[in-house]
Each structure stands twice: as C-alpha cells, then as structure tokens.
Structure 1
Amino acid sequence: MWKVSSRRASRSHPSTLILYALPAFPLAALALPLFVIVPTFYSEVMGLPVAAVGGALFAIRLLDAASDPIFGWLADRWNGVGGRRRGFFLASIPLTAVAAFMLFWPPQTIGLGYLLIWGGLLSLGFTWSSLPYTAWGAELSTDYAERTRVAAFREGATLIGTLSAISLPFAFGTAGANNADGLKAVAVLVAVLLPLTGLMAFVFVPEPVNRSTREFGLMQSLVFMSKNRPFLRLIAAFLLNGFANAIPATLFLYFVSGRLGAAEWRGPFLLLYFACAVLGVPLAVKAARRWSKHKAWSGAMLVTCSIFAASGFLGDGDLVAFGAICVCTGLLLAFDLVLPPSMQADVIDNDTAVSGSQRSGMYFAAWALATKLSLATAVGVTFPMLSLIGFDPAQDRSSPDALKGLSLLYAWAPIVPKLAAIGLMWGFPIDRVAQRELIGRT
C-alpha cells in the first residue's frame, strides 16, 4: 500500500507537465525555419548573394556551437531572481522572441549585416532559452519513470511545433515571395507565444531543488564529465543514432522526388512522418515503463533498422509502401526523442553523486553539441557520396545506377551506426534500481 502511494506522489500533475511543455511549441516552431527556410529565403526572396548567405550562416553556426558550453555553464551558475532554471530561462525570452521576429519578418531592403546580426542574436537566444529549459525538465523529478513523462510532454510539444513550422509555409505558399508570408506567420507565432508560454511556465511550474553541495569552474566541470562513463556511453550512442537519422533526413527530398518520382508528395509524407511521431510518444513512455529506458530505446532502433531497410527496394510509384514506412518509422522516432533525454537526467545523477555538483546545464550543452555534430557529419558525408554515385538533383532524371545508389545510401547506410548505438545501449548500467541508488547518495 505504501509503495502505491509513493509512486503516485512522485508523479507530477498533468497540468504541471503541460505548462512546462508549452514553451517547447514556439521554440520548435522557430528552429526549423532558422536552419532550413532562412537560407533559401534570404538568397531567393531578399536577393542576397548565395555565397554571402552561405558564409554568414556558416559564421552563425560557429557562434552557435561556441555558445553551447558557455550558456550551459552559466545556466548552472545563475543565482538571479526566479531560480537558476526558471529565472535564467525567463531572462532569455525577450532576446529570442525579438530576434526571431526581426529575422523572419525583415524590412524590404536589407544587407548582409542584417542577416548576420539578427541571425547571430537568434542563434544565441535559442541556445540561451533551450539549455536552462531542458535542464529544468531534467530536474523536475528524481524518479526514474517520471523523468520519461516529463520528457514525453516536452518532446510531444516540440513535435507539434515542428508540424506547425512545416505546415505554415505550405499554407501560405512555398515559392517566390509567398515564402515571406509563411515566415511572417512563424514570426508572429514565436513573438506572441514564446513570452506567453514562458511566463506561464515560470509562474506555475516549480523551480527544481538544487542538489549541488559544491561548485566548479568550467574546466573542472569538463574533467568530471569526461570521467562519467555512463554519460560517455550514452552520448556516443546518441551521436551514432543521430548521425543515422540525419542521413535519410538529408536525403529525404531527393529520395521522394528522384527514386519515387513523386515530388508533389514530399510535403504530405513529411507531415505524416512527424504526425505519427506525436502518436508514438505515449508508446515510448509505456515501453520504457515495462522494459526500462535503454532496452526500449534499443528495441525501437532495432525495429527501425528492419523497417527502414525495406525502403531500399522501392521505386517509381511505390507511394503506399513508402507511406507505411513513414507511419512506422514516425512512431518509432518518438523513442529517439523521448528516451535519451530522460536517460540523460539519470547519468547526471551519476556525476552529482561523485562530484557533489548538479550540472544539468553543462550536460545538455554537450547534448546540443552532439546533435549539431551528427547533423553536420551527415551533410559532410552524404553530399560527397551523392557526387560519387553520380546522382545530380539538378537533372530531370538520373541514371538507374545513380538512383540505385541513392536508395542504398538512404535506406541501408543508416543501419550500421544504429546497430553500433544498440550495441552501446543494450547493457547500459543505469536502470531503475541503479538510478534509485544514485539518488540516495546525493
């Protein structure tokens, strides 16, 4: 009887989790345009030179990567009003909201400096907002299973925000000046909803208990992180799986247009994929509760490999089969989004038990860097491979050999890093029992 009551007491009220998750919606809605739509918009619609836009965005990406450890460290050291998680997050919102509005709704006549300034400020603001926000969620509960619920609410809102960002450009048109209308809609959405939802979360969601008994400088923090073996194992698996997911994500538009011969279905398939990911969130929570997080994630990756391999056999007109693959892999995407962040909270417990310092900001900064590295690596690998196999997206029709190579690269290349990630995670040392022991030591 006592155990049942204890389990219920550890569960946050759904309204608390909804209020915490709400800011994830506008944050996700600005992320996709920032990295996907802005390059084309500023070159084709605003008339800036393509090479200059590419150089500016490269500089912004470098700034983005450099800012992660700095904001992660600051997130752990903040002692201002509202607490180190809530207060630091709330302080970031004006910069993020204003920069998003200015970047997505530019005046008619601008120069390259406009893109550099507001793109750079939005990159800094997004990092500043995201790191204390995810650290806040990781610390809301010390319960193994409850952390998965927290991550599920947040990642569910993230997926809905992503769907909105995908849908708005289609709703307003995706070519020529109509792109401006889609970006303006996103600008208004972020400028209004981010301050509103951020303030609601600040007021109604509690500040986590800081379990730190010591504080360290940036370099000392990095030393302790490098000695946290479960963390190194988890982030290596996360990096491998992220790289595996980024390969088909990079090639998705080419595969649907070139291999399936259905360019007009790119948008609907993308929406179907992310919509099914939303539906897969509760499945991930239930699987983690039944089999533990690492086993549920490993099983989902294994099933994804078997399903995704089938796409390598598809050709012109196989739309129903590809739609079924989008449904299945979309459902399983939820496992990739929900379970690793929940496990990240558990490996932070391992560090806190050893060092006496709870540094969730630093850990999620490393997480963000791993995400960016996996995406950059996928682009750096796949495009040279496309050239090697003779696939040219500018051509109306590629050769059969080039299309076959595209299928192999899209469907089967991701399997190797996914299998490596499974190998790392199958015997992961922090399960429910081990995590409860770690909490007892802090």
Structure 2
Amino acid sequence: MTKQRRGESGMSSVHRAAGAASRPVGVGTLFAFAAPALGLYAVGLPVAVYLPPFYANDLGLGLTVVGQIFMLCRLFDLAADLGLGAVSDRVRSRFGRRRSMLVLAVPLMGLGAWQMFMPPAGAGPLYVLCWLVVMYAGYALGVISHMSWGAELSPDYHQRSRIQGWREMAGIIGIVALLALPALIEQMRGGTKAEHIAAMGWFIIAIFPLGVLWCAIKVPDPSTATTGPSSHPGLRETVLTVARNRLVRRVLLADLLAGVPPAVTGALFIFMIEAVARTPGITSTLLLGYFVAGIVGIPAWMAISQRFGKHRAFALGALWNCVLALCFLLIEPGDSTTLTVITLLYGLGYASGTFLLKAIMADVADEDEMRSGHNRTGLFFGVLTMTNKVGFALAVGVTYPLLALFGFSPEAAASTPAGQPIAGTGALMAVFVFLPFAMNLAAAAIMARFPLDAARLAEVHRVLSARRAGE
C-alpha cells in the first residue's frame, strides 16, 4: 500500500509539473530569463563588426592575418560546443542544471572581454588568438546553457517562440545599448577608437554578471523529473546521434545558411558604408537603426509564427531578407536617404530566423526524447551554437582574404577622395549582396515544409507525459 501511494504521489507530481509548465510563462519570469542575453548578444556584434577592423587597421595586423585568426578561433571552438552541450545535460547540482553552467560562463567571458577590448600596445597575433579563445569559451558556455534553459521552461509550441522571442529582444537591446556608447562618448568628450572599443568591453563586463544574477535568482531551473534523463554519449556517439536525426540535420543546415548573411553583413557593413555609400559619418547611427528595427520586427514575426507556424514564419523571414539584400544594389555614393530606408527595412527581418530556429530546436529535442528516451536538449543546442559559429567564422575568415585578393584595402578606401573610384568595391558589393541572398533562399527552401508543427508536438508531449508518469 505504501509503495502504491508513493507511486501515485510521484505520478501526480509529474502531472502537476507538466501542467504548470504548459501555462503561459509570466512576464516577470520572461524579463529575468532574458536578462543574460543583454551581455551575450553584446559580445556577438563587436566581435563581428568592430574588433576585426580594429585589430586589422588600428593595431596593424592586416586583413588576412585577422581573418585567419578569427576563423581559426571559431573553428577551434566547434568541438568545445559539442562537449559543453553534452556536459550541460549531465550536470546534477542543487543549484540547478542550466543555472550552474550559466554562472560558470561569467568569469571566462569577463576575463576574455577585458583582454580583447582593452589590448596592450603591441598586441600581436598570438595575444589575439589566446584571449579570443577564452572569450569564446565563456560565450559558448553562456549561450548553450541559456538557450537550453529556455527550451525547458515550457513544452508549449507557441510559448517557446515567445520565450525565445523575449530572449532575442533583450539581446538586441543589449546590442543597441552597446552601439550607443561610442556616440555618447563622442558627444561628451570625443575619444579615440580604442576608447570606444574599451567602453564596449566595460559594458559587457558589467551587464552580463548582473543579468546572470537576476536570472539565477528569479527563474526556475526545471528538474529531470520534467525534462527526462540525459544520455552520456562520447564524441563518436554524439556525431552519430546528430547525423541520424533528420530533423536536427535540417534545423542545423537552415541555421548555418541563415547565420552566414548577418555575419557577412556585420563583417562588411563598415567597409560598404565607407567605400560604396561614401557616408562614413552615419555608420553608428545606421547600425543603431538596424537593430532597433530588429526589436520592432520581433513581435510581428511572433504573430506570423502564431498564425502560420514557426517553420513558415522562418521561411517568410528568409525571403524578406533575400529581397532587401538585393535592394542594396540601388545605393549610389552619398545617397544616405536610400541607404537609411533599406537598412531599416533590412533590420526588420534581422531576428526572424534566429529565435524561431531556437524554438524549433526545442521541439526537435522533445521529439528526439520521445524516440530515444534521453533528454539531449543541451547537446542539440550545443550543435546549434556550433553551426552559428561556422557562419561567423566563414564571414570573416573567407570574406576578408577574398576582398584582399581582389584588391580592396580599407586604408585606401578611407583615404580616397570623393568622386574617385576605389579598387575592389565591385567584389565587396558582390559578396555583401549575393552571398546573403543565396544563403537565405536556400534556408527558406529547407524549412518551408518542416514536418514538426504544433499538432505533431502535442502528440509528442502526450507520449512523454505518459512515459514520465509511468516512471
């Protein structure tokens, strides 16, 4: 009798946990959960947009060397993503599985940001390589644990879009705040580019720990009773697990394809403004407007997802980005009005793919658990982070040497008088426009008929609920 009552008590606790998880996540919880993204996203933007030109031009390392360093660090970090994702699934701590790993990311990312954004005079390639690896390690640990935590806050198909949408909005707000710093410093007391870069570093060092602290205190970390047991695969089994899951393969390929365009845009945006549009004075303002438009666009993409499904909303967003990429070909030198309008419209689609694919991957992790009996959420988000890094590595590691090969020089572009042609601008615009166009088009085709929708996910959760109740 006692054993039966214990079983009934365990079953009822699982049902209560599942029922609570399926209710809408409160706004207060969403605010707290999204807070770490303020610092995490702030790392992504300057690494792609500001740090490569800063090290290539201001510190004199050159385009080719900087491109190779950033690509090498990203590729070297890929294996770490697999390991960190799997480790985050295995953690058993009274402080929480995802919470503990997110807290561990703080010192790594803070130390790496301090060294990368405030380098000493004469910092060379080895210095950049070492500290970039440290910063990326903290960034990867933070992103994987944070995304996995969000995937487990609710099993609901549409709630997951809402959770990841809030995370995305917080992240873009962090980017906007970071972009506003150089403008504020310049208005207050001018300042050099090195001082602007240092201010960005201090922003990251300050805001990320505060966001993690708020999240760690206020957000529940689901137990394995509601998420299922995790597996402990080795590297070979991990690769086979990912390779055998067709849904994971499709999401990863779509993420790789959709991740390259914003990385290319970010890596080449300053060069395009200075060498093609010839309006260098509005670079920071345009970037600020681009990301503000991204924040404005997220509620619209959430509504489209609610109406048509996440995979169709993703495909529509990718097509939107295809059209706007082509519009940059309309820009003439000095035409700041057309440039501003296109940049703002392009910004509306900036976040359409990132948060929707994260929400879709959470659904895929549940479907995999139904088939395998193991929770691999952290592993799958680790691989998702890996494909994103491949995109950013290719953006800098391939485009910079390619532009150098075709004769484009940032120093020559900056010193060429208005009205005179700049070597390599044709290659610059070809990469800036047509590479994102082709990638987004392919990503839309891959996800347009994705089979895991709200109805299918509801069936998955019925099976998981019955299994967990039995356990």
Equivalent AA in structure 2 for residue 233 of structure 1? R
CA displacement at 1:424 relative to structure 2:
0.9
Question: Aligned-pair RMSD on alpha carbons?
Answer: 3.2
1:360 aligns with 2:373: no
Distance 1:160 1:222, change over 3 A: same
Task: Please identify, of 294-303 and 160-169, the stretch whose mean Cα deviation from structure 2 is larger.
Answer: 160-169
Larger RCO (CA within 8 A; separation ≥ 6): 2
Task: Please identify, of 407-416 and 203-212, the stretch whose mean Cα deviation from structure 2 is larger.
Answer: 407-416
How far apart in 1 are the matches of 2:374 and 2:75?
29
Q: 2:98 touches 2:146 (CA, 8 Å); kept in 1?
A: yes
Task: Please identify, of 422-431 and 307-316, the stretch whose mean Cα deviation from structure 2 is larger.
Answer: 307-316
User: Which of 198, 221, 231 is the aligned partner of 1:215?
Assistant: 231
Q: Which residue of 1 aligns with 2:195?
A: 181
Q: Secondary structure at the match of 2:135?
A: helix
Distance 1:316 1:7, change over 3 A: farther
How far apart in 2 are the matches of 1:100 and 1:42?
14
Q: How does 1:307-318 map to 2 (within 5 A)?
A: 307-318=324-335
User: Which of 310, 325, 346 is the aligned partner of 1:293?
Assistant: 310
Q: Which residue of 2 aligns with 1:160?
A: 173
CA displacement at 1:264 relative to structure 2:
1.6
CA displacement at 1:177 relative to structure 2:
7.2
CA displacement at 1:52 relative to structure 2:
7.9
User: Which of 441, 447, 453 is the aligned partner of 1:419?
Assistant: 441
CA displacement at 1:213 relative to structure 2:
3.5
1:133 aligns with 2:146: yes
Q: 2:89 touches 2:230 (CA, 8 Å); kept in 1?
A: no
Equivalent AA in structure 1 for residue 253 of structure 2? A
Q: 1:172 touches 1:178 (CA, 8 Å); kept in 2?
A: no
Q: Which residue of 2 aligns with 1:372?
A: 389
Q: Which runs of 5+ in 1 are unaligned?
A: 1-5
Q: Which residue of 1 aligns with 2:45?
A: 32
CA displacement at 1:149 relative to structure 2:
0.7
Q: Which runs of 5+ in 2 are unaligned?
A: 1-18, 465-471
Q: 1:21 touches 1:154 (CA, 8 Å); kept in 2?
A: yes
Distance 1:214 1:371, change over 3 A: closer
User: Which of 129, 143, 167 is the aligned partner of 2:156?
Assistant: 143
Q: Which residue of 2 aligns with 1:94?
A: 107
Provide the TM-score with structure 1 as the length reference.
0.87
Q: 2:45 touches 2:266 (CA, 8 Å); kept in 1?
A: no
Q: Secondary structure at the match of 2:356?
A: helix
Task: Please identify, of 300-309 and 422-431, the stretch whose mean Cα deviation from structure 2 is larger.
Answer: 300-309
Q: Which residue of 1 aligns with 2:216?
A: 202
Q: 2:165 touches 2:298 (CA, 8 Å); kept in 1?
A: yes
Equivalent AA in structure 2 for residue 307 of structure 1? L
Equivalent AA in structure 2 for residue 26 of structure 1? G
CA displacement at 1:334 relative to structure 2:
2.1
Distance 1:405 1:222, change over 3 A: closer
Distance 1:52 1:314, change over 3 A: closer
Provide the TM-score with structure 2 as the length reference.
0.82
How far apart in 2 are the matches of 1:139 and 1:163?
28
Q: 2:69 touches 2:129 (CA, 8 Å); kept in 1?
A: yes
Identity rate, percent:
29
How far apart in 1 are the matches of 2:364 and 2:310?
12
Equivalent AA in structure 2 for residue 215 of structure 1? S
1:271 aligns with 2:288: yes
1:192 aligns with 2:175: no
